[in-house]
């Protein structure tokens, strides 16, 4: 086993110009078909999705080259706040071919996720090229695959492309009126590491997704003098685990059921497990849990927020509408003066420049297909990691990786190598 992942320059199609195709092929194979079989599958992104696909392809004897713009795998995970732990169980969060170690515990920490991704790349001896950012993907001129425009003027041709640049790619900070003139400290959640810089300070967290909820609790426990949480739409709150039963298990069990049925099943469970917080500014949502998921809103898993709100230690306030000097203007007309604002306002997929010209994105900038399916007008172009399933992102990435590898193998036309034993 190698001591570290294989880091090479991206494969150059010219290196294999003299190849005659896979073993057993005849001299009558077309030039385009021969070019396609000589080319690797390029995987864009060295996060868990990209690494899982690379392994699954290599397990089928297909050469996969991972292109990662940063200098290490798992770049987005390294940027998350310090206290982050997976909301999915260790056993259901491992990638194909290597389970997560038991010593990581049931709820794996951010640092251990990073360690696992590093080990995964090393263990499987994946072919990874760091420091290379792909800016544009387009069909190869000879019809034999895909042309990738990358850092340093590189032009790389692959038999297929898997885009795995991640659900949380580019921080989204709303263009609030008066934002530029705000005299307090304003930062996006991607810049937040821990509560130390905010000790004894009045802090407003904007956004009650899982990130905003957890940062609010972290600030409270880390010594902030006051913590307020700005909420536009009250989320569904769920317990990460109830009597030892993880919420993920239930999510997996109901994922294929009709939306309306899951909505009905979730309502009594919520009433039994989560107290009514209406008096504190968090009423129970009017729309069903699974209906919200289908609209792109994942339930918030409780890591201490429920108790903090009930005890009045995290105050719920209205959504942010803008800024006036050192004041924050709220949707209900109130003006508050926190010393710092942490915007947990989400991310953009930022795929427009990469593949937007191919007609493969919907009106929200998300791929029209994912997993083993490819767009009708872009065969050989795959996407993974651009959904946010309640059954667990890492679990679904692992399943998608196997499906994508099977689909690529079924298409043929990729450079073959003996699978690892």
User: Tens of pLDDT along 148-158?
Assistant: 999 999 999 99
User: Looking at domain 6-169+349-411, which of 1.20.1050.90, 3.50.50.60, 3.40.50.2300, 3.40.190.10 is its CATH number?
Assistant: 3.50.50.60
Cβ density class 44-81: b for 16+ within 10 Å, e for less: bbbbbbbbbbbbbbbbbebbbbbbbbbebbbbbbebbb
Residue owning tokens 């069909």 = 139
Q: What is the pLDDT of residue 29?
A: 42
Instruction: Please tell me the CATH code under which domain 172-346 is placed.
Output: 3.50.50.60
Q: Pairing mode, if any, of strands 245-246 and 241-242?
A: antiparallel
Cβ density class 403-420: b for 16+ within 10 Å, e for less: bbbebbbeeebbbeeeee
Query: Domain boundaries in the chain?
Result: 6-169+349-411, 172-346
Q: Do domains 6-169+349-411 and 172-346 have the same CATH topology?
A: yes
Residue 249 buriedness (CB in 10 A; 0-12 / 13-18 / 19+): middle
Q: Pairing mode, if any, of strands 300-302 and 245-246?
A: unpaired
Alpha-carbon span 107 to 110, nearest angstrom: 10
Q: What is the pLDDT of residue 420?
A: 55
Q: Which stretches of the chain drop beneath a pLDDT of 70?
A: 1-37, 413-421
Q: What is the pLDDT of residue 296?
A: 80
């Amino acid at each position: 086993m190698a001591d570290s992942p294989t880091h090479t320059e991206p494969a150059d199609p010219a290196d294999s110009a003299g190849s005659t195709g896979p073993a057993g092929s005849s001299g009558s194979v077309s030039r385009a078909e021969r070019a396609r079989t000589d080319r690797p599958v390029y995987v864009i992104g060295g996060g868990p999705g990209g690494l899982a696909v690379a392994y699954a392809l290599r397990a089928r004897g297909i050469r996969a080259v991972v292109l990662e713009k940063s200098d290490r795998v798992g770049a987005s995970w390294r940027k998350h706040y310090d206290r982050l732990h997976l909301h999915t169980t260790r056993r259901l969060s491992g990638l194909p071919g290597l389970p997560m170690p038991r010593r990581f515990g049931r709820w794996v920490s951010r640092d251990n996720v990073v360690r696992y991704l590093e080990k995964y790349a090393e263990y499987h001896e994946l072919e990874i090229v760091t420091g290379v950012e792909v800016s544009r993907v387009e069909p190869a001129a000879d019809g034999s695959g895909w042309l990738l425009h990358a850092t340093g003027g590189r032009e790389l041709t692959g038999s297929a492309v898997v885009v795995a640049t991640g659900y949380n790619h580019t921080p989204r900070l709303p263009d609030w009126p008066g934002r530029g003139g705000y005299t307090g400290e304003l930062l996006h959640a991607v810049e937040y590491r821990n509560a130390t810089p905010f000790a004894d300070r009045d802090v407003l967290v904007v956004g009650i997704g899982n990130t905003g909820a957890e940062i609010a609790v972290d600030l409270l426990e880390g010594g902030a003098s006051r913590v307020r949480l700005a909420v536009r739409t009250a989320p569904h709150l769920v317990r990460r685990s109830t009597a030892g039963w993880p919420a993920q298990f239930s999510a997996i069990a109901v994922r294929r059921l009709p939306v309306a049925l899951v909505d009905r099943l979730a309502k009594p469970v919520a009433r039994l497990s989560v107290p009514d917080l209406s008096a504190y500014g968090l009423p129970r949502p009017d729309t069903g849990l699974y209906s919200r998921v289908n609209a792109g809103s994942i339930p918030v898993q409780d890591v201490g927020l429920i108790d903090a709100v009930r005890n009045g230690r995290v105050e719920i306030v209205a959504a942010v509408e803008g800024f006036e000097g050192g004041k924050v203007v709220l949707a209900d007309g109130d003006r508050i003066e926190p010393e710092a604002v942490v915007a947990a306002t989400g991310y953009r997929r930022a795929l427009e420049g990469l593949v937007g010209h191919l007609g493969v994105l919907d009106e929200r900038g998300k791929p029209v297909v994912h997993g083993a399916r490819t767009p009708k007008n872009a065969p050989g172009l795959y996407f993974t990691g651009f959904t946010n399933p309640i059954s667990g992102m890492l679990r679904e990435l692992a399943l998608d990786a196997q499906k994508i590898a099977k689909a690529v193998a079924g298409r043929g036309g990729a450079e073959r190598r003996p699978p690892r034993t």
